Amino acid sequence: MRITVSGLPGSGTTSLSRYLSERHGFSMISAGEVFRQLAKEHAMGLAEFGRLAQENPEFDKMIDARQKEIAEERDNIIVEGRLSGWMVTDADLRIWLFAPVGCRIRRIVFRDQIADEQTAEQITIEREECEAARYHSYYNIDINDLSIYQIILNSEYWGVEGLGAIIDTAIMQLTPQETP
């Protein structure tokens, strides 16, 4: 089984992906973690690294190609990332998480250790706009087109266990059940 988990920054995609990976024994690959690691290796913030990626598409394309390659080589994998639903064409289940911007900003402040919500909001909105432009330019993908996803959930209302329970049920419905 191949599952993709996508959503905007702070929507909970990494947390849900980790939950599903541990619960079902699936391997996991995260584009966001790869992107954050590359930004750190280049001693840059996420927005600054995003601008660099906008100037040099090879950064994004390298992450996207590697994620797609790994997903196509393996079974029982969770592929987490903004574009994973679009890139993993043979996914069995595509999930999109969303949450209102205020909720996402509070999570980002905590996760990324940003000093205040205003700064986090400015960085996040700049990042989202930059990414949307890059995805459209590179692949003609409209990140706001959610028509490819089978499940769309608002992560403000459920914690990771609640979201996980919903997805666990979907996985059970997709998995052939043995009869006694």
CATH number of the domain to which 141 belongs: 3.40.50.300
Kindly state whether residue 91 falls inside one of the protein's structural domains. yes
Report yes or no: 66 and 88 within 8 Å, Cβ to Cβ: no
Residue 34 scores a pLDDT above 80:
no
Q: Which of 78, 112, 109 is nearest to 95 (CA)?
A: 78
Report yes or no: 15 and 2 within 8 Å, Cβ to Cβ: no
Q: Which of 72, 60, 75, 77 is nearest to 17 (CA)?
A: 77
Report yes or no: 131 and 120 within 8 Å, Cβ to Cβ: no
Kindly state whether residue 177 falls inside one of the protein's structural domains. no
Which of the given ranges, 54-58, 68-72, 91-95, has the highest pLDDT on average? 91-95
Q: Assign 30 to helix, strand or coil.
A: strand
Kindly state whether residue 57 falls inside one of the protein's structural domains. yes
Say what the pTM is.
0.85
Element housing 105 (H / E) = helix 101-112
Beta bridge partners, 153, equal 97
Residue 16 scores a pLDDT above 90:
yes
Cα–Cα dist 116/102, whole Å: 12
Q: Which residue range is the domain that position 14 belongs to?
A: 2-172
How many CB atoms are closer than 10 A to CB 38?
16
pLDDT of residue 178: 57
Place of tokens 């995260």: 30
Report yes or no: 117 and 106 within 8 Å, Cβ to Cβ: yes
Beta bridge partners, 77, equal 2, 27
pLDDT of residue 42: 81
Pairing mode, if any, of strands 27-30 and 77-80? parallel
Number of domains in the chain: 1
The percentage of residues in the chain with a pLDDT greater than 90, rounded to a whole number, is: 50
pLDDT of residue 177: 63
Kindly state whether residue 178 falls inside one of the protein's structural domains. no
Place of tokens 């939950």: 19
Kindly state whether residue 131 falls inside one of the protein's structural domains. yes
Kindly state whether residue 107 falls inside one of the protein's structural domains. yes
Kindly state whether residue 179 falls inside one of the protein's structural domains. no
Kindly state whether residue 26 falls inside one of the protein's structural domains. yes
How far, rounded to the nearest angstrom, does the alpha carbon of residue 147 sit from its chain's CA centroid? 16
